[in-house]
Amino acid sequence: MGVMAAAASAAGSDALVERGELKITQQEFSDFFEVAIPADARAEILQDETRLRRTLAEYYVLRQLDVEATEAGVDRDPVFVKQLNRQRSEMLARFYLAELARKRNPDLAKLAKERYIDKKASFAVPAEVDASHVLIAINDERDEKAALARAQEVLAKARKGEAFDKLAEEYSDDPSAKSNKGDLGFFQAERMVKPFADAAFALKNKGDLSEPVKSQFGYHVIRLNERKPGRQKSFEEVQAQIEEQIGTELSKTYIEEELNRVRGYDVKINDEALKAFQKQEAQAK
């Protein structure tokens, strides 16, 4: 009986899957879901029945192998026990440190507001433009003078009213022009090389055309399609983001402080026992 068939047989109870002695209850799967699935992925999985069923099926496989391994006595294998103890210590220590950090309970809202005021400029949204261009490359077959003349030809045709997208398809040496017809979409100034960005952002009105502008790629004729002015994000827009960032930073700081506290304990090492261990392990190898 497949996993989904087994799940169907459990209808009417709180069991999601039953097979022999193995029963996966809603609570068990919920616990697994909480600790194994990243928080930002849970909502997506819960809204997608196919993914939810696949997650349940994968958990069933894990649990079934757990049952079989236990029946085979693998849980009593000395190597497994050693690894389990080590992992338990690591997990317990990490959980303990996280809990100590959480109990510090800083006022994240207050700290976030202070950071927002101090670094307000970093929460500004830069201006963007949507522009199209025709690129005339300078290459072995076309020197700079010929490239400029061809760019001026394109500009003259555009000023006479020829469709800019058609000109881009016909003239542009930008490989993407065949698919985007020269339209680069919205971009911030920092995304483009400076001569191009300066010329594009200097255009004021929809449909404005630039004079040919030279960049490392050749000559560009640029058409402005639309502008989006820059704006300052409000504190409310970014509060959650800042609080999460500060919380992560403080948690790391607190954890490091706790680690240093324990590292600072006055611990005496038994040198003779350590040498005996060293010798014993070297001989065992």
Domains of the chain and any CATH numbers: 3-76 (no CATH), 92-123+237-263 (no CATH), 127-229 (3.10.50.40)
Checking if the pLDDT of 6 tops 70, the result is no
Q: Supply the pLDDT for residue 2.
A: 52
Task: Please indicate whether residue 21 or residue 195 has the higher confidence score (pLDDT).
Answer: 195
Checking if the pLDDT of 169 tops 50, the result is yes
Alpha carbon separation from 49 to 14, 41, 55, 57, 179 (Å, rounded): 18, 14, 10, 12, 36
Identify the weakest region by mean pLDDT among 5-19, 31-45, 248-262: 5-19
Q: Supply the pLDDT for residue 38.
A: 87
**Predicted confidence band at 119 (pLDDT cuts at 50, 70, 90)?**
very high
Instruction: Please report, rounded to a whole number, the percentage of residues in the chain having pLDDT higher than 90.
Output: 81
SS3 30: helix
Q: Supply the pLDDT for residue 213.
A: 97
Mean pLDDT (whole number) for 73-89: 95
Mean pLDDT (whole number) for 210-221: 96
- What residues contact residue 126 under an 8 Å CB cut-off, 6+ apart? 188, 189, 190, 230
**Predicted confidence band at 20 (pLDDT cuts at 50, 70, 90)?**
confident
Q: Are 186 and 128 in contact (CB under 8 A)?
A: yes
Alpha carbon separation from 21 to 13, 16, 63, 229 (Å, rounded): 15, 13, 11, 64
Q: Are 24 and 15 in contact (CB under 8 A)?
A: yes
How does DSSP classify residue 223? Answer: E
Mean of all residue pLDDT scores within the chain: 91
Strands 128-136 and 218-228: antiparallel
Question: Closest Cα partner for 33 from 16, 45, 22?
Answer: 45
Please state the φ and ψ torsions of residue 260, each to the nearest 5 degrees.
Answer: -65, -35
Angstrom distance (rounded) from CA 37 to CA 273: 44
Burial class (CB in 10 A: 0-12, 13-18, 19+), 156: exposed
How does DSSP classify residue 75? Answer: G
Give the CA count within 13 Å in the CB-facing half-sphere of 45: 16
**Predicted confidence band at 217 (pLDDT cuts at 50, 70, 90)?**
very high
